[in-house]
């Protein structure tokens, strides 16, 4: 786990370029405090800079950028099945290290882009083969990679902030980006809200020729066809077996490993499988929020039942400058305050571990969110909504109470509107007064509950939840590993009849497995992750004394001022948080002008 920066210019490098890129590398030193290195080719206009967090093969021989022949790599992540891959490469490569970086590099030298297919891991890397640059991201977007283009060429980094600061990139969101952020809390890839600054989507390869010609392609897509295998005892066992393989690989390390236990199903399942199937007792950690949704009591009870050592980390009340802290962690607009909780927990646990196992991705893989259950239970109404709106309008007058209200909602708007209404609750009507939703959200040709899950895997997971964990953990120099984000496991789950996974309730499959290890009274509904209390950082002053006038794409100042009069309402709090972040980025980055490298 590391961080890297670099560039490929259309002209030779000069000393000012190298100095700037070194400054960019030092700006994200926390991602890799154990070692550093650089490689540059002045005539080719190429620079690669790397900060290393040593996890596997702690020897300096595994430092980066790593060069073999005319290939050079700067890499952030872990290839968990590197030992198995190395065995297959022994006949064609002469390995000089015991780490995964060399396996990744030699695999590419041998097979090129085809070497990505068997990888089980999280990764983002930049690879130069002497005349082409490749920027590559993993299956689910676990490891970030941002790039910026101007007339000089292409610059890239593991975090957007180093690019924004060094190149003085201006914050100029278009209406699509603003609409995304208000309705979703993040800007959908490849946009970031900053001019000419993009994020490379999951499972993507950006190929850049020496002349500056660029091509972006995907090497893997989410399976399009949903499977129809009915859930059976043998398939439940196979799910557990595949998850155990994923866990076992993610426990490979030359440094200490712990587990972040939120009290929910996903992290509890990881802890139970480690204990009873793999025979490994991991120390568990939970962060406590006395003024928010506190999972520490439930997590402690689960750890006690599993006979695991457990530590509760009290949340620090860091309300001063909270918006600035959140903006600094992400570098771009993102309202996921879980990043602050993850950072606090990682900073406190750092003295005991360098790697933490989490349940991230379990909600998406196993249908864990309330909206999935809602769309499944009301699937008949949503089907009708897309085929007979005039019938629905008639039904709304004769059905009683709650059903009538649901029918009225369904008879208005398309799938996108229906999805956003459920996702944002009553706040949806507030957002519409500020700016309408723009762009396609939900796939129209598969069941609504599946389409919603697909949207989350392709958008919310890589653009909100994963970055919150990555930024929070890496700011404290801790690597987080996610057993549920395993391509083999996900593709297997896709072969099952999807309705079986939700018909028995949220996370039915995961809960069924977990019941082998935990009693039902510890598997209560309503468990959440590390939910940070957003109200700590919200006040009406954040909005009313702002530069919102610069955000002139349809925002209604009068509507915003009306909302700010009631700060006790949860939906208003969320809206104010998002507007506060937009205000911060507008105020601090709107007037920046790009500078030549």
101 vs 523, more confident: 101
Which domains, and CATH codes, for the chain?
A: 2-218 (3.60.20.10), 233-367+461-522 (3.40.50.620), 387-443 (no CATH), 538-589 (no CATH)
**How does pLDDT run across 320-347, given as a tens digit for each residue?**
467 888 999 999 999 998 898 899 899 9
Statement: residue 394 has pLDDT above 80: no
Q: Could you tell me the pLDDT band of residue 313, with boundaries at 50, 70 and 90? A: confident
Q: Could you tell me the pLDDT band of residue 403, with boundaries at 50, 70 and 90? A: low
**Which is it for strands 46-52 and 2-9: parallel, antiparallel or unpaired?**
antiparallel
Q: Could you tell me the pLDDT band of residue 458, with boundaries at 50, 70 and 90? A: very high
Give the C-alpha separation, 227 to 230, whole Å.
Answer: 9
Which pLDDT belongs to residue 593? 39
Q: Could you tell me the pLDDT band of residue 573, with boundaries at 50, 70 and 90? A: confident
**How does pLDDT run across 471-496, given as a tens digit for each residue?**
999 999 999 999 999 999 999 999 99
Which pLDDT belongs to residue 411? 58
Instruction: Return the minimum-mean-pLDDT range out of 18-22, 197-201, 355-359, 540-544.
Output: 540-544
DSSP 226: P
**468 to 91, 292, 360: CA distances (angstroms):** 41, 18, 11
512, burial (CB in 10 Å: exposed 0-12, middle 13-18, buried 19+): middle
Q: Contact, 198 vs 192, CB < 8 A?
A: yes
Q: Could you tell me the pLDDT band of residue 574, with boundaries at 50, 70 and 90? A: confident
Query: What SS3 state is found at 9?
Result: strand
Which pLDDT belongs to residue 421? 86
Statement: residue 138 has pLDDT above 70: yes
Tell me the average pLDDT across 499-525: 90
**How does pLDDT run across 60-88, given as a tens digit for each residue?**
999 999 999 999 999 999 999 999 999 99
Statement: residue 416 has pLDDT above 50: yes
DSSP lists the bridge partners of residue 41 as 46
Q: Could you tell me the pLDDT band of residue 310, with boundaries at 50, 70 and 90? A: very high
Which pLDDT belongs to residue 114? 97
**How does pLDDT run across 526-570, given as a tens digit for each residue?**
545 545 455 555 544 444 344 344 444 445 656 666 655 555 566
**How does pLDDT run across 53-63, given as a tens digit for each residue?**
999 999 999 99
DSSP 463: I
Share of the chain above pLDDT 90, in %: 66
Which pLDDT belongs to residue 414? 78
Instruction: Return the minimum-mean-pLDDT range out of 131-140, 248-257, 393-402.
Output: 393-402
Give the C-alpha separation, 231 to 366, whole Å.
Answer: 13
Q: Could you tell me the pLDDT band of residue 412, with boundaries at 50, 70 and 90? A: low
> Residue 249 CA to chain centroid, in angstroms?
21
Query: What SS3 state is found at 209?
Result: strand
Give the C-alpha separation, 158 to 173, whole Å.
Answer: 21
Highest average pLDDT, of 44-58, 211-225, 280-294, 410-424, comes from 44-58
Statement: residue 380 has pLDDT above 70: yes
| Positive or negative torsion for Cα 81, 86, 89, 92 | positive
């Amino acid at each position: 786990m590391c961080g890297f920066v670099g560039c490929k210019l259309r002209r030779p490098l000069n000393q000012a370029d190298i100095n700037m890129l070194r400054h960019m590398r030092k700006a994200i030193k926390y991602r890799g405090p154990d070692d550093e290195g650089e490689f540059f080719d002045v005539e080719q206009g190429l620079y690669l800079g790397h900060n290393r967090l040593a996890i596997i093969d702690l020897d300096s021989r595994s430092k980066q950028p790593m060069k073999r022949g005319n290939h050079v790599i700067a890499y952030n992540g872990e290839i968990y099945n590197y030992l198995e891959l190395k065995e297959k490469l022994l006949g064609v490569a002469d390995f000089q290290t015991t780490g995964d970086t060399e396996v990744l590099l030699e695999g590419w030298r041998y097979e090129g882009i085809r070497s990505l297919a068997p990888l089980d891991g999280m990764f983002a890397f930049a690879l130069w083969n002497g005349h082409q640059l490749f920027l590559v991201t993993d299956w689910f977007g676990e490891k970030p990679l941002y790039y910026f283009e101007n007339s000089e060429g292409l610059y890239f980094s593991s975090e957007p902030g180093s690019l924004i600061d060094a190149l003085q990139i201006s914050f100029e969101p278009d209406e699509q980006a603003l609409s995304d952020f208000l309705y979703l809390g993040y800007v959908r890839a490849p946009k970031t809200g900053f001019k000419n600054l993009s994020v490379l989507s999951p499972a993507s390869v950006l190929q850049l020729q020496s002349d500056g010609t660029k091509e972006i392609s995907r090497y893997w897509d989410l399976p399009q066809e949903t499977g129809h295998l009915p859930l059976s005892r043998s398939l439940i066992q196979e799910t557990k077996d595949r998850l155990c393989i994923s866990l076992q690989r993610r426990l490979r390390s030359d440094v200490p490993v712990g587990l972040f236990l939120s009290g929910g199903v996903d992290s509890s399942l990881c802890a139970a499988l480690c204990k009873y199937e793999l025979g490994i007792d991991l120390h568990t950690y939970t962060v406590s929020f006395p003024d928010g949704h506190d999972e520490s009591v439930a997590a402690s009870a689960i750890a006690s039942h599993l006979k695991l050592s457990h530590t509760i980390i009290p949340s620090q009340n860091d309300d001063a400058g909270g918006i600035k802290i959140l903006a600094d962690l992400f570098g771009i607009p993102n309202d996921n305050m879980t990043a602050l909780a993850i950072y606090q927990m990682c900073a406190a646990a750092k003295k005991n571990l360098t790697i933490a196992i989490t349940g991230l991705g379990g909600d998406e893989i196993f249908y864990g969110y309330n909206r999935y259950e809602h769309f499944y239970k009301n699937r008949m109404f949503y089907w009708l909504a897309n085929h007979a709106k005039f019938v629905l309008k008639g039904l709304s007058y004769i059905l009683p109470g709650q059903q009538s209200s649901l029918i009225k909602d369904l008879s208005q708007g398309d799938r996108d509107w229906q999805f956003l209404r459920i996702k944002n609750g009553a706040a949806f009507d507030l957002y519409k007064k500020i700016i309408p939703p723009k762009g396609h959200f939900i796939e129209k040709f598969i069941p609504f509950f599946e389409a919603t899950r697909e949207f989350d895997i392709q958008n919310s997971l890589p653009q909100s939840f994963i970055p919150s964990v990555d930024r929070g953990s890496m700011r404290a120099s801790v690597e987080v590993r996610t057993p549920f984000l395993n391509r083999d496991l996900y593709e297997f789950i896709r072969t099952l009849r999807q309705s079986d996974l939700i018909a028995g309730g949220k996370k039915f499959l995961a809960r069924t497995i977990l019941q082998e290890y935990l009693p039902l009274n510890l598997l209560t509904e309503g468990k959440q992750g590390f939910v940070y209390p957003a109200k700590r950082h919200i006040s009406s002053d954040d909005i009313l004394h702002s530069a919102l006038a610069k955000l002139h794409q349809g925002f209604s100042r009068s509507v915003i001022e009306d909302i700010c009069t009631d700060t006790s309402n949860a939906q208003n709090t969320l809206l104010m948080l998002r507007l506060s972040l937009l205000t911060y980025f507008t105020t601090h980055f709107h007037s920046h002008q790009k500078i030549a490298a």
